[in-house]
């Protein structure tokens, strides 16, 4: 059976991911998913609580965004927004494949053992992080119940394969 168990399971949005716990685990960098993790899909905007978390996170961690999104107009707009925090965006990542994740790792200039890949999808973000060899954190999607029904069903199916987190 495919192992999709994240290192950390967050019962809430990205802003509820404990930075102190990550630091205590030796994490020095994070690869962040874009859509439904950092920003509402298509918005290229940060919610205030996510923005506050991001500002605090960048004080302690190297950060980069890795997204499967292929819409250049949107990913460029998101990259422009994140540039004010000195965070670059790598688009068209094709997670769970690791080619672009390895590019992100090289840009972070960190060893894989000190990196946590954070996202809202077990089959793309968590599996991709596990294939890369880093720690992973699964957060709840920003849209939650506002997401279209098909995606809600797919998320439930993905999460059926998850065992309770050990952290």
Instruction: Give the model confidence (pLDDT) of 77-105 as tens digits.
Output: 999 999 999 999 999 999 999 999 999 99
The CA distance from 57 to 11, in Å, is 18
Confidence of residue 166 (pLDDT cuts 50, 70, 90): very low
- pLDDT at 87 (0 to 100): 97
- pLDDT at 90 (0 to 100): 98
Percentage of residues in the chain with pLDDT exceeding 70?
Answer: 84
- pLDDT at 162 (0 to 100): 57
Confidence of residue 1 (pLDDT cuts 50, 70, 90): low
Q: If we measure between CA atoms, which residue out of 142, 149, 132, 155 comes closest to residue 34?
A: 142
From start to end of the chain, where are the E strands? Answer: 8-9, 29-32, 62-66, 89-90, 115-119, 135-138
The CA distance from 123 to 129, in Å, is 10
Average pLDDT in the chain: 90
- pLDDT at 159 (0 to 100): 60
Q: If we measure between CA atoms, which residue out of 128, 114, 133 comes closest to residue 61?
A: 114
Strand partners of residue 31: 64, 117
- pLDDT at 155 (0 to 100): 56
Instruction: Give the model confidence (pLDDT) of 37-64 as tens digits.
Output: 999 999 999 999 999 999 999 999 999 9
The CA distance from 24 to 157, in Å, is 32
């Amino acid at each position: 059976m495919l192992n999709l168990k994240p290192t950390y399971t967050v019962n809430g949005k990205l802003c509820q991911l404990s930075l102190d716990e990550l630091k205590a685990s030796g994490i020095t960098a994070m690869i962040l998913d874009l859509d439904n993790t950092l920003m509402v899909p298509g918005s290229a905007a940060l919610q205030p609580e996510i923005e506050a978390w991001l500002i605090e996170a960048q004080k302690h961690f190297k950060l980069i965004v890795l997204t499967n999104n292929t819409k250049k107009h949107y990913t460029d707009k998101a990259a422009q927004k994140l540039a004010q925090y000195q965070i670059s965006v790598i688009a068209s990542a094709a997670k769970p494949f690791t080619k672009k994740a390895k590019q992100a790792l090289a840009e972070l200039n960190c060893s894989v053992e000190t990196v946590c890949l954070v996202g809202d999808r077990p089959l793309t973000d968590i599996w991709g992080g596990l294939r890369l060899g880093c720690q992973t954190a699964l957060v709840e999607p920003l849209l939650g119940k506002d997401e279209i029904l098909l995606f809600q069903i797919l998320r439930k199916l993905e999460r059926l394969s998850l065992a309770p987190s050990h952290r």
